[in-house]
Amino acid sequence: MKASVLFSGGKDSSLSAILLEPFFEIELITFSFSLLPVGEFVSESAYELGYPYKILNLDTEILDKALKMAIEDGYPKNAINYIHYNAIKKLASIKSNSKEAIADGTRRNDRVPMLGESQIQSLEDKYNIYYITPLKGYGRSAVDVLVQKYLEIEQNQSENIIKADYETELREIIRQTYGDDKVSQIFPSHVQSRIIKRIK
């Protein structure tokens, strides 16, 4: 069975693909609003992992609505979940009735981005696909052990690392619309990872 894995270039989505690899035919998928050349940022990471890789576009009105949410809330959680849900939904509609798998890198303790149980069930039922989160049963420390075994990563503060996650373009649209200060107000600085190499 084919599995399309949502890929940000970070360790969680990379490890998710590696865990699925023995059982599925993997393709990495990155969504972009074309606001930044996110595909260029991560195509090298995808190549290093050794999987086919595709960039798909999301309507900019989704980013506009996410921008409004982030500004109104003063924090990015709901905005990022909104983009994530729409990305999964778009991929599910493309894969409609294929009975293929769609996967992402959600971990056990993740809250953002994360689909709710009813969202998952309705996407699976409506589009006849399987939504799989291979890391959902793994805690942070187990993930770290596996990442160390299979991946060489670069870690840095979120504002210094360019990834193909939704955060990168959401930060950019906030920066373009409201300036740098607003970005650091809304996004607490946190450590992000980008994969450099796969260890075989």
Q: How far is CA 145 from CA 19, 89, 154, in A?
A: 13, 32, 15
Of 116, 145, 179, 197, which lies in the binding site for a second copy, with binding defined by CB under 8 A? 145
* Cα torsion 12, 13, 16, 18: sign: negative
Burial of 27 (0-12, 13-18, 19+ CB in 10 A): middle
Question: Other CB atoms closer than 10 Å to residue 192's CB: what's the count?
Answer: 23
Q: Does the footprint of a second copy cover residue 118 (CB under 8 A)?
A: no
Helix axes 166-178, 38-49, angle to 10 degrees: 160
What DSSP character marks residue 152?
Answer: E
Of 135, 151, 173, 186, which lies in the binding site for a second copy, with binding defined by CB under 8 A? 135
Nearer to a second copy among residue 60 and residue 119 (C-beta): 119
Of 130, 147, 169, 186, which lies in the binding site for a second copy, with binding defined by CB under 8 A? 130
Nearer to a second copy among residue 1 and residue 196 (C-beta): 1
Q: Does the footprint of a second copy cover residue 137 (CB under 8 A)?
A: yes
Q: Which of 30, 20, 88, 32 is nearest to 54 (CA)?
A: 30
Contact positions with a second copy (CB under 8 A) in 24-83:
none
Q: Does the footprint of a second copy cover residue 96 (CB under 8 A)?
A: no
Q: Does the footprint of a second copy cover residue 8 (CB under 8 A)?
A: no
Of 97, 111, 117, 191, which lies in the binding site for a second copy, with binding defined by CB under 8 A? 117
Nearer to a second copy among residue 91 and residue 132 (C-beta): 132
Which residues does residue 57 pair with via DSSP β-bridges, in sequence order? 32
Dist CA 49 CA 9 (whole Å) = 10
Min CB(164)–a second copy separation in Å: 21
Q: Does the footprint of a second copy cover residue 109 (CB under 8 A)?
A: yes
Q: Does the footprint of a second copy cover residue 148 (CB under 8 A)?
A: no
Q: Does the footprint of a second copy cover residue 19 (CB under 8 A)?
A: yes
